[in-house]
Amino acid sequence: MGDEHDPGRFLRACRRQPVDRTPVWFMRQAGRSLPEYRRARGNGDILEAATHPELVTELTLQPLRRYAVDAAILFSDIMVPLRAIGCPVRIVPDVGPVLDHPLGGAADIERLRPLEPEADIPSVIEAVTLVTRALEGRGIPLIGFAGAPFTVACYLVEGKPSRTFARVKSLMHTEPSTWQILADRLADIACAFLSAQVRAGARAVQLFDSWAGWLTPADYERFVLPVTARVLSELRALDVPTILFGVGTGELLALMASAGPDVVGIDWRVPIDVARSRLGANTAVQGNLDPAICLAPWEVVAAETRRVLQSAGTAPGHIFNLGHGVLPDTDPGILAAVADLVHQEGRSGASVAERDGIPAEGPDGAGGHQREARP
């Protein structure tokens, strides 16, 4: 079967190059679904936890002891750089980022100063350095990440997670110049945050634009696409693959691809073959198993995993992932079995019939799903 961890598999797939088997990782693979995560993190604030490099390193590496994933993703939060520059954001359990006094106009936005990585986020830089040092020789690249300007703005303007995003949409349309100032400030912060992670050792970056799917294509093209494209353009000089991810973005995929990412992550609502046709041949695709499916019995999960692989086809440029983050109640054994199944059957150049002929063990089978012993 070759090396379990090919150091270039994930990176080659990002660049639409042939791979021996489909690479896989899971958004929120380090998180509440792991009992060791809960023991290590306790009940503290995630933004506080992200300032402790040794803890960040441990939480980032935990899923690699269980799953045969092809990439690690830094344990952090999209609000980390905002807290670092003095923005009084806090994470409320079961709610999300909350700002008691949301940004209301140009004067509030002026208080968002530039991020100075060496002074503001030394713990993040140290954590990335520690993680990449721990991953040396293991063939697993580290993914850094940041929040995209629009999604971060949603929290800052709304003051909390929203179901309508009415305040931020109103700002864009009624005060477009103010919106542009805010978007540019947040773009600068995202670029500084991601660049610092890459300089410290991250081999790829993901830009989370989780709420972009709430916009019409016209609004996305006018208010969001230019600033997103600027972030991705500035990162291009770092020569690492870039991934752009959003939820509910089926009607935006062509526009997202035009922003210039190497990879677009898609949620579970759009079949990958449809996503590929909308993205075009120059963009790789990441996804897109429904996270809720992972709560079902293994036979269901395996069938849906195969369906995703079949939809992706055998053309280069597919990274298997969930269509959103791992749900807290997910059985880690199921995710381990999914990773093994993807590696067994998601091979470049293999026909679907050939893949379906390869047996895949369930979470209690002999496929090596209890991975705590892996170094």
Which residues sit opposite 245 in a β-bridge? 208, 265
pLDDT at residue 364 greater than cutoff 80: no
User: DSSP states of 270-329 as a string?
Assistant: S-HHHHHHHH-TTSEEEEEE-GGGGGS-HHHHHHHHHHHHHHH-SSS-EEEEESSPPPTT
- Segment holding 208, helix H or strand E: strand 204-208
Residue 363's pLDDT band (cuts 50, 70, 90) = low
Q: Which amino acid is at 118?
A: E
Catalytic residues: 28, 32, 41, 77, 155
Nearest to 143 by CA among 54, 210, 211, 235: 235
Name the average pLDDT for the chain.
91
Determine whether 278 is exposed, middle or buried from the number of CB atoms within 10 Å of its CB (0-12, 13-18, 19+).
buried
- Per-residue pLDDT tens over the stretch 314-337: 999 999 999 999 999 999 999 999
Over pLDDT 70: what percentage of the chain?
A: 91
- Per-residue pLDDT tens over the stretch 22-67: 999 999 999 999 999 999 988 778 999 999 999 999 999 999 999 9
| Start-end of H helices in the chain | 9-14, 35-41, 46-49, 53-61, 80-84, 106-109, 117-120, 122-135, 149-158, 166-174, 176-200, 217-219, 225-236, 253-258, 272-279, 298-312, 332-345, 352-356
Q: What is the rounded average pLDDT of the residues 291-310?
A: 98
Residue 223's pLDDT band (cuts 50, 70, 90) = very high
Please report the pLDDT score of residue 105 as a whole number: 82
Nearest to 313 by CA among 280, 264, 258, 355: 355
Higher pLDDT, 366 or 118: 118
pLDDT at residue 353 greater than cutoff 50: no
* Phi and psi, residue 278, nearest 5°: -80, -30
Please report the pLDDT score of residue 334 as a whole number: 98
pLDDT at residue 373 greater than cutoff 60: no
Q: What is the rounded average pLDDT of the residues 6-11?
A: 83
pLDDT at residue 352 greater than cutoff 70: no
Instruction: List the domains of the chain with CATH numbers.
Output: 9-356 (3.20.20.210)
pLDDT at residue 191 greater than cutoff 60: yes
Distance CA 117, CA 144 (A): 14
Where is average pLDDT lowest: 97-106, 124-133, 351-360? 351-360
Higher pLDDT, 363 or 249: 249
Please report the pLDDT score of residue 2 as a whole number: 40
Where is average pLDDT lowest: 7-11, 216-220, 255-259, 288-292? 7-11
Higher pLDDT, 6 or 221: 221
Residue 362's pLDDT band (cuts 50, 70, 90) = low
Please report the pLDDT score of residue 10 as a whole number: 96
